[in-house]
Structures are given as structure tokens and as C-alpha cells.
Structure 1
Amino acid sequence: MALSPRAARSASGRHGFPWRAAGLVLVVLITLTGAGLITFAATAPDPVGPPQPDPAAAPQSLLSPLVDEPTAPEPTPSEANAASGTTHGEAHSARGRLEADPGSTATRPSPAPKVAGMPRSQPTRIRIPRIGVDAPTLPLGLDRNQQIAVPPLDQPKTAGWYKLGPSPGEVGTAVVVGHVDSRATGRAVFFRLGSLKPGDTIEVPRQDGKKARFVVNGVARYPKKKLPLSLVYGHTGKAQLRVITCGGDYDKAAKSYKDNIVVFATLAP
């Protein structure tokens, strides 16, 4: 199912949230699995090959917030009492006092700070210090085939922001794409994207003069025909970023890589 640019905007809401429109998600899937996104006829494999992500760095589920740290299992009452020297009766009384006094903060953990999204603003660059990326960005819409347009082949060092979705820093899932390599110039802007690790940072300067700083939560590689759409593009209620390029083995017949590398990142406090 293909949507016109006008239909895509209408389905996505005021700021263009395409992930809420199933039709546009199909357009994205077709783009990723076809020749429209980062795979292109002029692509040539690097003799060494682009770095591939560590399987341990892949996010496991969209249901557990990507930005949250795992918490230790809560001890049983007997374990807690043994560690503190408190009897079961004392623990029961203490628990009753705590429940009766909701204003007490002595034993209540502080909630994790919530990160509010930023106003909408077009990104101008993307910087990823760990892999030496400092590249300009340009807005991308849909091409004449109703697929996501790509950075021009003669600009392999330029990244593209999908302008029908959220802007980086805005609440929602912003998407930035880029080539992995080029027959004409060799390594392209996101050649080393697969070597990122959780905890690395991504900075996106914007036209409003502000910078959206993201922390990498995970890096994964997926076959283009089996891209988990809900995980990659799902709206989590947070300001998140996905950076996508090609990866995996190179298919000489198709002149493209078989997989996509996806970086998951969340706006930092």
C-alpha cells in the first residue's frame, strides 16, 4: 500500500507521526526491503566490510523501556529481615507505618527523571563521536515511487532525516538514514554504525539552535525482509531516534547488502 505525501501527512497527524499509520509503515517496509532506502545500484562492498553489531547490544523488547536501567529483584521478606536483623513482626509493623504515611520519603526511592520532548525543529547535522561521524543532514520525503527518498548518490557523506516523522528531540521516533558505502567514494557516512555500543552518544544540532543529545540503548542487525516494525518504528511515548544503514553480507547479484543495521537511542536528560 502506497500513500501520497499528502495522505502520509494527513494520516500521521499535525507533526507527521507516520508510525501511527499502518499504510505508511508498509511504505517504510517496502523501502527498506527494496531498492529505495539505503540499498542502491551504485553500492560496492568495502574490501574489509562494515562492522557488524554485537548481538549482545541488541534491544530485547519494546515493552521494557529502552532507556530504563534493569532493576535488581526485590528480596523476599525473610531475606530482607535477615539482612537487617528485623523480625517478621517488626517488619510488618514498619510496613504498616510506611503505608499509613505516604508522605514519608525515608525508604521510598525517587522516581527516575522524565525527559520531556523538544519542540519540532529540522536537524542540520548528526554527530556520533565514537565513530567519527560529523555529517550534514537533509530532509527526505517520499520519491516518485512513493518510497522514502534517499540522500543523493553523489553525497554519500550526507545523512537524511525522514521529515514526515518526528524531528530528533521531538516526542516520537525520529529516523535518520544514510549510505554505508559507495562505488565512487568507498566508505560512506554510516560505514561504522554497527560498531556503536549502548551508552554511546549521538548529537543532533537543529535549526532552532538547540542540540538534541541521545544515548544509544542498543544496536541490532535485521534481515531486510524481517524488520521488526513495531520495535524499530513503534511510538513509545518518549523522544527517541533510530539511525539506519545497510549491513550483513553483500549480495553481488542484487548489488546490495542483505540486512539493515539499526541504532536505538533515547533523548538524554
Structure 2
Amino acid sequence: MRPAAASAVLGLALAVGAPTAWVLTQPEAAAGIPLEQPLPATPSVTTRDAAPSAIPSAPAPVRISVPSQGVDARVDAVGIAADGQMELPEDVSRVGWYRLGPAPGAEGSAVLAGHVDDREQRPGALFPLDDAAVGDEITVPDAAGTATRWRVVSRQLITEQVLPLERIFARDGAPRLTVITCGGPFLPEFRSYRDNVVVVAEPVR
């Protein structure tokens, strides 16, 4: 059970600049196979500019639905904030799609992320993500009126400072959906949560 939020809008520490070394933690909250294993990993990873150009891709996602967890939220296209982190909608009832990476269904990792909660707005759209289970289905409709369907293969709680950014924001490899929110204990001294909940899903064939 999460501690009550005690700050203004809570940020999601997802810096998307130069990759850093990482160590994957797997507390009891983890489910499924490790983050680097859900789909075949690419043979090499290259460093990318902190402000990459947009990738021509499929229509933008406009909604995310995880029926088993009661998630049903609007999706906004977002980029990179001034501090180098992934932007997130200020309205915690909405989820951000990293528009500088793949769209859901395209090659690589399509990233959706949102606040877990807020002192005034209370639980965010992705608050239930911590309870996502392997096998849960996710539906992501797009602006063209079509939808991609996904099945969860991994849920992990990862310390923010050691997020595997190269894997999360990969632009190549098999299509996958990565959904992220804050998790773990709330740290009042940092006005933030210690960890991120990272859910990875494969396309439903």
C-alpha cells in the first residue's frame, strides 16, 4: 500500500540523455521475466542525443485501457522537458506517449508513462499499474481509429537511478509496449517515489 502523497505533482525520473550503467533489481513486486528478456534484445546499443528528432511512425496513440486493472485514460503526445527528463501530462488522469520514439505497433519500444498520484488530484490513471499481472491485456487505440492489443509479459519495480534507459527507449527490435509510473516508498526528503513500476507487453497476435 502506497504512502499518501505529500508534495505537488510528482515527477517521473526518466532522463533520456546519454545511457548509463544499470543494475536491475527484482523485489517481490516483480512478475514475469526480467525486463531485458521479454523480447529478443538488440545486439548493440548506441548513445543518442538527449533531444532526438521525431521518428516517422504510425498514428499517435490516444488512449490506453487495461480492463483487468480498471485503467482507462487519454494519452497525450509528449517530448523532453527542460531538465532532460520525459515530459508527463500535468493532469494525472492522462498518460504521456513519448512521441520521439516508436508509436505502439512500430518496431522498438513504445513508451507510455504517467504520474501515480498527486497531493491534490489524488490517484493517477496508472495508480493500479503496480498490480498488473503477466497475461493482462492492454488496448491502445490510435488517432486513425484502429487499436493495437498487447499482453503483459513483465512487471518490475526498478530504482529510478538504475532504469535501463537503453532498453526502455529502444527504437529497434521487435515491437513492444512499455508502460511506466512511480512506485515503491515515497521519500519526503526528495518529494518523490524511490522506484518506477515498469510493465512490458508484447503484441497479441
State the TM bucket, normalised to the shorter chain. Answer: 0.7 to 0.9
The aligned amino acid for 2:17 is L
Shift of the alpha carbon at 1:145? Answer: 3.2
The separation in 1 between residues aligned to 2:146 and 2:98, in whole angstroms, is 19
The superposition leaves residues 203-233 of structure 1 with CA deviations (integer Å, 9 ceiling, x where unpaired) of: 0000111101011001000111111234433
- Structure 1 stretches lacking a partner, 5+ long: 1-23, 30-51, 67-118
Cα shift at 1:144: 3.0
The question of 1:197 aligning with 2:133 is answered yes
Q: 1:59 aligns with which of 29, 33, 36?
A: 33
Q: Are 1:186 and 2:122 counterparts?
A: yes
Higher RCO, 1 vs 2 (CA within 8 Å, ≥6 residues apart) = 2
Question: Kindly tell me: are residues 228 and 28 of structure 1, through their superposed partners in 2, closer, same or farther at Cα, counting changes over 3 Å?
Answer: closer
Say which SS state the counterpart of residue 127 (structure 2) adopts.
coil
Q: Which residue of 1 aligns with 2:17?
A: 26
Amino acid at match of 2:77: P
Aligned to 1:122: 60
Structure-1 separation of matches of 2:37 and 2:154: 14
- How far apart in 2 are the matches of 1:257 and 1:216? 23
Structure with greater helix share of residues: 1
Q: 1:1-269 alignment to 2 at 5 Å?
A: 25-26=16-17, 54-55=29-30, 57-60=31-34, 62-63=36-37, 65=39, 120-152=58-90, 155-235=91-171, 237-269=173-205
| Contact in 1 for aligned 2:140/2:147 (Cα 8 Å) | yes
Please give the secondary structure, in 2, of the residue aligned with 1:202. strand
Q: Distance in 2 between matches of 1:221 and 1:193?
A: 11
Count of residue pairs the alignment pairs up: 169
Tell me if structure 1 keeps the 8 A contact 2:98–2:111.
Answer: yes
Q: Secondary structure at the match of 1:242?
A: strand
* TM-aligned CA deviation for residue 266 of structure 1: 1.1
Question: Structure 1 residues 150 and 61, CA, compared in 2 at 3 Å: closer, same or farther?
Answer: closer
Alpha carbons 2:63, 2:74 under 8 Å: kept: yes
Distance in 2 of aligned mates of 1:144 and 1:224: 19
**Which contiguous aligned blocks of 4+ residues in structure 1 show a shift greater than 6 angstroms?**
none
Question: C-alpha root-mean-square deviation of aligned residues, in Å?
Answer: 2.3
Structure-2-length-normalised TM-score = 0.75
Q: Which residue of 1 aligns with 2:10?
A: none
CA distance in 1, matches of 2:80, 2:150: 26
Q: Please state how far the C-alpha of 1:61 moved relative to its aligned partner.
A: 5.8
Q: Is the 8 A contact 2:16 2:86 kept in 1?
A: no
Taking only the aligned residue pairs, the percentage that are identical comes to 34
